[in-house]
Amino acid sequence: MSQKVDWANYVAQTENKFSAFSVQDNQQKSEDEATDSYNPADDSLFVKMIRKGLVDNNNDIEVQRKDPKSPLYSVKSFDALNLKPNLLKGVYDMGFEAPSRIQETALPTLLADPCQNLIAQAQSGTGKTAAFVLAMLSRVDPKIPYPQVLCLSPTYELAIQTGEVAAKMGKFCTEIEMRFAVRGEEFPRGSKLTEHILIGTPGKVLDWIRFKFFDIQKIKVFVLDEADVMIAQQGHQDQCIRIHKELSPSCQMMFFSATYNQEVMEFAELIVKNPIIIRLRREEESLDNIAQYYVRCMTAESKYNAVINIYGTLGVGQAIIFCRTRKTASWLAQKMSGEGHAVAVLNGDLTVEQRIDVLDRFREGKEKVLITTNVLSRGIDVEQVTIVVNFDLPVDVQGRADCETYLHRIGRTGRFGKKGIAINLVDSEGSMQILKEIESHFGRKINCLDTENSEEIERIGQ
C-alpha cells in the first residue's frame, strides 16, 4: 500500500517543477519574420488558465445516441446526482452552485449504471474538466489499492491543470489517492503503483505500461482530454490508440474535445464504442455592433501614423492591435512607447504564465494598448476594449483571407452588448483583395476611412 499523499501539496510541488520546465523549454526563437503562432496545446492551456469562471452559455445542447438502449436525462442540481457526501462537499467548496449546460447533460450519462461511453464537445470554459473529474472521483473504489482511472492530456502543463481540479474537488475524499504520470516522475523497475487515479501524458503512460508499473486491464475509466489537440499531433494519436488497445473491453470511455470536426469524430469512433454524443453549440461571434473600416496605407510608417491618428483622436478606452509577425509587433511597440503610450506586447515567445501576466495587466488598465499576434485572437474578453486594429490582415498558409481569424480578432471589441470599432490597415493591392474576400464572406460593407481627417475619425466614435 502506498503512503497517503497530501494531494493539494503534491500539486503545488509539481507546479514548481512545471515552472522550472517552462523556463528551460522557452528557448529564444529566431523566426521573427514568420507568422507568429503557437501549438494548440498552448492555446488550450492559455484559455483554461485565463478563465475567471464558467462561460455563461445558454446555447442548445445537441445529443446523439449511438446506443438506443441508453437512458438519457439531465439534472439541474448536483444533489440530484446522488454523489458521495464528501465529493458533493468538494463540488460546493469549489464554488459550483448548479451544473453548467454541458454538465447537466453529461454527468447523468457519466455516472449512470451500467456505465455509458461518452463523446462530449464544448468550448473552453464551459465546465468539461469538472464534469469528467467528478466522474473519475465517483468511479473509484478506494478500498482497492491499484490504478482504476486513467486520464490522458496532450501536455505536461494540461495534465497539471486537470490535477488541480481533481485536487480541489477531491479535497475531502482523503481516501482517494492520485498520481501524475508525467515527465520527472520516475520509479525503480519492479515498482507497483497503488494510487487510484493516474493523470498524465501518453508517452509517460506507455512507458509505465511497458515497465508493468500498473495493470492497464484493471483500468475501468479512460478519459481522453483535449482530444482535438491529440488529433493535431500525430504522435499523440498513435500513442492513444496503442494505449486504448490495451484497455479492457468493459472500460468506460470519456472523450472530451473543444472542437468538433470530421477528423476528430473519426478518431473518437476508433476508441469509443457505442457512445452517446453531446455537443454544446458554440457562442457565435457577432458583427452586429462592430463598425468596420479600412485605411489605405503605402508603408509601415504610414500604417503607424494611421494608428496614432486614430488612437489620438478617438476617446477610446483600450485598444488591441494585431500584427502578423513578432518583428512587426516589437517594432510597433517600441515606436508607440517612444511617444509615451502605455503599451504591452504579447506573442509566442512568452511562456503561458508570462502571457497571463501581460493580459492581467491589460485587464487592470495598466497598459492601454495591447499589441499582439494571433496568440490572442480567440476567447479573450476585456470589457474596456473599444477598438481593434488589424495592422496586418489575417491570412491562411496559402495567403488567402483567414475569415475565421478575422471574426475572432474583431470580436475582441463590441463585447457585452457595447459598440465596437474595427480598423483594417491596407498597404497593397494584395491586402485590398484580402479585404474584399472578407467583405464578401461576411456580406458586410467595410467603409474607407481617411485618418488624415480628424473630423471623420471623430464621427466614427460617436
Tens place of pLDDT for every residue, the chain, 462 residues? Answer: 333 445 445 445 544 544 444 334 444 444 445 566 555 666 666 666 655 444 444 555 566 555 555 555 677 889 988 899 999 999 999 988 888 888 888 898 899 888 889 998 876 667 888 999 999 999 999 999 999 999 999 888 888 889 989 999 999 999 999 999 998 888 888 899 999 999 999 999 999 999 999 999 999 999 998 877 776 666 777 888 889 889 999 999 999 887 766 777 777 877 788 888 888 765 555 677 788 999 999 899 999 999 988 877 776 678 899 998 889 999 999 999 998 888 999 877 777 778 778 888 888 888 889 998 866 545 455 667 888 999 999 988 788 898 878 887 887 776 555 678 899 999 999 999 999 999 999 899 999 998 887 777 777 766
Which pLDDT score is estimated for 406?
87
> What pairs with residue 254 in β-bridges?
118, 223
270: cell is 476508433
Q: What Å distances lie between residue 33 and 312, 325, 328, 365, 424, CA to CA?
A: 29, 6, 8, 30, 21
Report the SS3 class of residue 168: helix
Residue type, 435: L
CA 190 to chain centre: 38
| The predicted structure's pLDDT at residue 89 | 95
Query: Taking a C-beta distance cutoff of 8 angstroms, is the pair 116, 109 a contact?
Result: yes
- DSSP conformation class of 60: P
Do residues 455 and 416 make contact, with C-beta atoms less than 8 angstroms apart? Answer: no
Same domain, 59 and 193: yes
The Cα 281–Cα 303 span in angstroms is 38
Q: Could you tell me the CA-to-CA distances from 126 to 54, 78, 121, 199, 269 in Å, in that order?
A: 5, 16, 10, 21, 23
* Edge-to-edge strands, sheet with 420-426: 343-346, 369-372, 318-322, 385-390, 420-426, 290-296, 447-448
Residue 31, domain member (yes or no): yes
Check whether residue 245 and residue 374 sit in a common domain.
Answer: no
Residue 369 sits at the vertex; the CA angle it makes with 367 and 372, to the nearest 5 degrees, is 115
Domain match, 345 and 226 both: no
Q: Which of 280, 313, 340 is the last residue of a domain?
A: 280
Question: Does 306 share its domain with 434?
Answer: yes
**Same domain, yes or no, for 332 and 225?**
no
What is residue 360's predicted lDDT score, i.e. its pLDDT? 82
Tell whether 263 and 313 lie within a shared domain.
Answer: no
Q: Which residues, 6+ apart, have CB-to-CB distance to 284 below 8 Å?
A: none
User: 303 lies in a domain?
Assistant: yes
DSSP-assigned states of every residue in 357-403: HHHHHHHTTS-SEEEE-GGGSSS---TTEEEEEESS--B-TTSSB-H
Cα distance between residue 31 and residue 326, in whole Å: 8
Cell of 111: 455516472
Is residue 114 assigned to a domain? Answer: yes
Among 223, 250, 280, the domain boundary falls at: 280
Strands 149-152 and 276-280: unpaired
Written as nine digits, the cell of 268 is 473518437
Q: Where are the alpha helices (DSSP H) in 26-174?
A: 40-50, 85-93, 101-111, 128-139, 156-169
- Cα(453)–Cα(28) distance, integer angstroms: 42
417 torsion bin: left (phi>0), alpha (psi -120 to 50), beta (else): left
273 lies in the same domain as 307: no
Residue 133 and residue 259 in one domain:
yes
136 & 41 share domain = yes
Sign of the dihedral defined by the CA atoms of residues 154, 158, 163, 166, in that order:
negative
Q: Which class for 250: exposed (0-12), middle (13-18), buried (19 or more C-beta within 10 A)?
A: exposed
Q: How many domains does the chain have?
A: 2
For residue 24, the one-letter residue type is: Q
Spell out the residues 6+ positions from residue 281 whose beta carbon is closer than 8 angstroms to its own: 59, 60, 61, 62
pTM confidence score: 0.66
Question: What is the reported pLDDT for 233?
Answer: 65
**Is residue 111 in a domain?**
yes
Phi, psi of 153, rounded to the nearest 5 degrees: -125, 155
* Domain end point (choices 280, 299, 329): 280
Assess whether 352 and 272 both reside in one domain: no
Residues 35, 141 share a domain: yes
Task: Tell me which residue of 311, 339, 320, 355 sits closest to 458, measured CA to CA.
Answer: 311
Residue 231: its H or E element:
helix 227-232
Closest by CA position to 373, among listed 328, 412, 342: 328
Grid cell listed for 275 = 457512445
Of 389, 368, 377, 264, the closest CA to residue 316 belongs to 368
- What count of other Cβ atoms lies within 10 Å of the Cβ of residue 337? 16
Q: From residue 223, how far is each of 103, 107, 128 by CA, in Å?
A: 16, 14, 12
Residue 161 belongs to some domain of the structure: yes
* CATH assignment at residue 337: 3.40.50.300
Query: In the numeric block, which cell numbers belong to residue 293?
Result: 473600416
d(CA 150, CA 158): 14
- Domain membership flag for residue 2: no
197 DSSP β-pair partners:
149, 178
CA R_g for the chain? 24
Domain limits at 372? 290-460
Q: What is the pLDDT of residue 206?
A: 94
Residue 1 lies in a domain: no
Residue 261 falls inside a structural domain: yes
Same domain, 244 and 367: no
pLDDT at 5: 43
